[in-house]
Structure 1
């Protein structure tokens, strides 16, 4: 519960600071860069080496990737249908596809299903969302933010030099390795900055009154992310007769709000920063209710 309170407070503080004009205009960008270069790699290095696999653990990975793939196709179709700009399409390809599987997923799902759900939450997060964020997220940010024609060589270079991806590779190489106490404590300190730093950045850019041109892409993103994505997960579980804790965790994860750091990436590279922050901020608030309803449906 304290994590949920922290989330709401951080967004509120950021919004209040923006209205009081305490920080500089580029403060949100600076905070997002700190999260991407320091906070997020620290989380990855802490969590990836701890993971173990079982046959049941494959379920969250399958559902995560199928849901993200179909969601991305739906975003592309919607963007073409509504004639969204390249900038808006790129933003939606990030925030309407990538889910908030850790910052909200961990406190909310563990509250609903108990601590036994944590291994499945981490697997969905690390081998679904985080790998997608590191590879897919970097590709989308590079492709849609670049004003000129971009080569595959440049995209590949950006992916392999992206801090979260580099941390992911290091974490995979270190699987089964136990860090010493000093290293673990330092990583925890940096990792713990992720939620306050990124959410204050969201609050700094949050606007309760959206411009008219943002309403349509805003609605498309949240409908896909909060309602269609969990429905896809439910259908997958029905098809394969998956009716266990791993399946329930995966359905709830699919219905979590847009990924905070996906919004941070979009804002940092100039993909509709105002819209991206609004989708993330409102998505968090709406998902607190929608995830409760989803939980009642699947139990």
Structure 2
């Protein structure tokens, strides 16, 4: 209960701060940079070494890529059937596929499963969502917004120099290692900043405007992201008989709301900015209800 209270209080604080213009407009960017460069690397170094080398570690990565790949195909064909414009199709291919698996995923998974689930969250997020954002997300934003060629070399450099990704690779070499208590304490303090800062940053960026002409693409994106994606994850787990914490965390991660960064990428690329912001805003809030229902289902 305390974890959920923190989640909603932090979101409300961020939303109120944004409405009252208390902090500078670039505050979400600064908070997100702190999380990406300090908090997430600290959490990776703290949690990943607690894993043991086994196939279980790969389950979140496999599910992440299959879920996002299938979701992208579904949205592509929905867009064709409903004859959405190229701009709207590009927006949905971003916010309807990529999930908020770190900023919202970490506090939600922590609230439901505890700290033992965090290593699997990081595997799903960093080796799934982040790489998908950097590769697929870049391609979609460029392809649907202009005729520019995608710079594969630049994407590769961006991935291998990303601090959370680098820290994840380093942490993998320390699996099974117990750090000195002082190191563990420092990492715990830095990693502990993720939840409040991430949720305040999310609250600062929530927008809820939705004109009537955006209704069809709005429900198409959220239908795929909040309903179809976790169903795909459940089916994958069932087909391969995966019934463990790694698979349950992956199913929950698949059901997270739209990625705020994906919404920002869509907006910067000129891909239906108003619609993208509405999908992210409403999607993040709705995901708290849908993930609660999802958690109850997978516990049956």
TM-score by length of 2: 0.79
- Report if the CA contact (8 A) 1:138-1:162 is conserved: no
Change (3 A) 1:235 1:150: closer
Shift of 1:211: 4.4
The answer to whether residue 15 in structure 2 is matched with residue 24 in structure 1 is no
1:126 counterpart (117, 122, 125): 122
Shift of 1:23: 1.5
Change (3 A) 1:161 1:60: closer
Aligned to 2:94: 93
Question: What secondary structure does 1:102 align onto?
Answer: helix
Aligned to 2:237: 237
Alignment of 1:115-264 (within 5 A): 119=116, 121-122=117-118, 124-144=120-140, 148-212=148-212, 215-242=215-242, 247-258=247-258, 262-264=259-261
CA distance in 1, matches of 2:191, 2:27: 20
Change (3 A) 1:145 1:182: farther
Runs of 5+ in structure 2 lacking a partner? none
Q: How many residues align?
A: 288
Change (3 A) 1:62 1:216: same
1:106 counterpart (103, 110, 124): 110
Per-residue deviation, residues 124-167 of structure 1 (Å, max 9, x unmatched): 42332321233222224544556643321111111111122111
CA distance in 2, matches of 1:181, 1:276: 44
Per-residue deviation, residues 94-113 of structure 1 (Å, max 9, x unmatched): 663335342212212x2xxx
Shift of 1:179: 2.6
Question: What secondary structure does 1:282 align onto?
Answer: helix
- Report if the CA contact (8 A) 1:99-1:254 is conserved: no
- Report if the CA contact (8 A) 2:99-2:254 is conserved: no
CA distance in 1, matches of 2:188, 2:288: 26
- Report if the CA contact (8 A) 1:32-1:265 is conserved: no
Shift of 1:281: 4.2
Change (3 A) 1:43 1:218: farther
- Report if the CA contact (8 A) 1:32-1:264 is conserved: no
Per-residue deviation, residues 52-84 of structure 1 (Å, max 9, x unmatched): 144556554443332232123333444555545
Shift of 1:248: 4.3
Shift of 1:12: 0.9
Runs of 5+ in structure 1 lacking a partner? none
Change (3 A) 1:204 1:85: farther
Shift of 1:208: 2.9
Of residues 267-276 and 176-185 in structure 1, the stretch that sits farther from structure 2 once superposed is 267-276
Shift of 1:238: 3.6
CA distance in 2, matches of 1:197, 1:84: 36
Question: What secondary structure does 2:107 align onto?
Answer: coil
- Report if the CA contact (8 A) 1:29-1:267 is conserved: no
Of residues 211-220 and 197-206 in structure 1, the stretch that sits farther from structure 2 once superposed is 211-220
Q: CA RMSD in A?
A: 3.2
